[in-house]
């Protein structure tokens, strides 16, 4: 385990990581400060896959990648099991930075709820998503019905709705 969030800052500034395409910092507790360091790092501009599950990142921390000039090439993002709520998901679902995503894991963020689900299911930005994990996001029957009526997530090949 790295020392949160200081080591995330070191990684984000390490010149020898400029060719990274995949960065997995899962289970390190980097929080919003670590998220900010990664999102603002010009060194990590080649990332296509970012795994930040179980890191104590909040919806406030999601502001950084949504406005980042660095994280515009992501095709896969895992932010499962953090502290993200419906507002964070709404911000993510409206950010052009995530237009290339084909895989999104937001599972076990129990405060996403129906509002967050509606933002995902109606997002024009996320229309390329093929793999979507909403395990344990508490979207309920209303969220499942909204998904069934969605006309934007037509490229899905895998959907995880466990523990709703």
Helix (H) or strand (E) holding 24: strand 22-24
Query: What 3-state class would DSSP assign to 103?
Result: strand
pTM score: 0.95
User: 6-160 adopts what CATH topology?
Assistant: 3.80.10
Separation CA 98–CA 120 (nearest Å) = 12
Take residue 27 and report the two structure tokens written for it.
Answer: 């289970």
Rounded CA separation 11/152 (Å): 36
Please list the pLDDT of the chain residue by residue as tens digits (164 residues).
Answer: 556 788 889 999 999 999 999 999 999 999 999 999 999 999 999 999 999 999 999 999 999 999 999 999 999 999 999 999 999 999 999 999 999 999 999 999 999 999 999 999 999 999 999 999 999 999 988 888 888 889 999 999 999 999 88
Interatomic CA distance for residues 164 and 143, integer angstroms: 9
Q: Where are the domains of the chain?
A: 6-160
Which residue in 24, 90, 11 sits closest to 55, CA to CA?
24
**Residue-level pLDDT at 1:** 52
Confidence at residue 3, expressed as pLDDT on a 0 to 100 scale:
62
- Asked whether 163 and 135 are in contact (CB, 8 A), the reply is yes
pLDDT of residue 101: 98
């Amino acid at each position: 385990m790295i020392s949160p969030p200081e080591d995330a800052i070191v990684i984000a500034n390490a010149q020898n990581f400029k060719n990274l395409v995949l960065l997995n910092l899962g289970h390190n507790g980097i929080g919003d400060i670590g998220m900010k360091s990664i999102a603002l790092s010009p060194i990590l501009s080649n990332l296509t896959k970012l795994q930040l599950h179980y890191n104590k990142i909040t919806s406030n921390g999601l502001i950084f990648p949504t406005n980042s000039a660095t994280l515009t090439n992501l095709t896969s993002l895992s932010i499962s099991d953090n502290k993200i709520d419906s507002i964070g998901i709404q911000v993510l679902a409206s950010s052009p930075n995530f237009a290339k995503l084909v895989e999104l894991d937001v599972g076990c963020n129990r405060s996403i709820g129906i509002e967050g689900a509606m933002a995902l299911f109606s997002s024009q930005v996320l229309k390329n998503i093929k793999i979507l994990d909403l395990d344990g996001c508490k979207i309920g029957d209303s969220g499942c019905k909204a998904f069934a009526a969605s006309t934007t997530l037509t490229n899905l090949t895998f959907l995880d709705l466990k523990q709703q």
